[in-house]
């Protein structure tokens, strides 16, 4: 009787070990397959109105080297990071970065569920401008291009999409079109982690003048790791 019980226990343990192995492998496969940006989905009327207001409030400069739009899930305001070149009479072509940050969340200010909803909300926007070396802006542009080109829809099986911060990466295309890839809670992996690091480094570079000489090297290193 004892030997039968031991055999049953051994079989049970082997079954549990096999199940854990398969579960871990499945989770690993999902993470590996989701290490990429995803294409934007078709907007409904509310989303279209929201993006229109964000463009009006935050898109104050060109972005011919790329734009990163951070859309928090909470009450924090949205942030736009624009990378562009600009001709100046005295210094010729300058390469610039401009960060604009809404002082409150535009989505909540415009959402139909908000008791203080407004179609044209009064939202203050903080603006930060800086020049950036050509090598850095080109490295970032190339990294964004690479990741946007790698974008693809999520697999039909895998982790469910949950609410969380989204980041839109955009590059201009010919004919006035824009290529967009989106980072979200369901996209994760080494390359996506580097993209988030790059976004944070660019934000700090823009908003922290005293640290720019140190941060520019960090920006270039992260960007080059994605090319």
Query: In the chain, what are the domain boundaries?
Result: 1-33, 36-225
- pLDDT category at 108 given cuts 50, 70, 90 is confident
Q: What is the DSSP letter of 102?
A: E
Q: Are 4 and 157 in contact (CB under 8 A)?
A: no
Q: Whole-model pTM?
A: 0.81
- pLDDT category at 25 given cuts 50, 70, 90 is very low
Greatest CA span in the chain, whole angstroms? 94
**Tell me: the pLDDT tens digits for 30-68?**
444 589 999 998 888 888 989 999 999 999 999 999 999
| Alpha-helical regions (H) of the chain | 2-33, 45-58, 106-110, 134-149, 190-207, 212-225
């Amino acid at each position: 009787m004892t030997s039968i019980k031991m055999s049953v226990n051994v079989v049970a343990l082997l079954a549990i070990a096999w199940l854990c192995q398969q579960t871990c492998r499945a989770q690993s496969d999902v993470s590996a397959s989701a290490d990429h940006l995803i294409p934007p989905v078709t907007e409904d009327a509310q989303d279209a109105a929201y993006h229109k207001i964000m463009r009006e409030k935050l898109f104050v400069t060109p972005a011919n080297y790329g734009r990163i739009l951070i859309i928090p899930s909470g009450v924090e305001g949205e942030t736009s990071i624009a990378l562009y070149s600009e001709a100046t009479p005295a210094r010729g072509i300058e390469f610039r970065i401009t960060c604009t940050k809404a002082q409150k969340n535009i989505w909540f200010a415009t959402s139909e569920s908000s008791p203080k909803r407004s179609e044209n909300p009064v939202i203050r926007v903080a603006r930060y401008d800086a020049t950036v070396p050509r090598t850095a802006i080109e490295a970032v542009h190339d990294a964004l291009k690479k990741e946007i080109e790698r974008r693809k829809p999520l697999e039909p099986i895998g982790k469910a999409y949950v609410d969380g911060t989204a980041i839109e990466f955009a590059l201009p295309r010919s004919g006035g079109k824009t290529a967009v890839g989106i980072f979200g809670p369901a996209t994760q992996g080494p390359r996506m982690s580097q993209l988030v690091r790059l976004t944070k480094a660019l934000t700090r570079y823009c908003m922290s003048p005293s640290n720019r000489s140190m941060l520019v090297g960090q920006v270039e290193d992260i960007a080059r790791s994605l090319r």
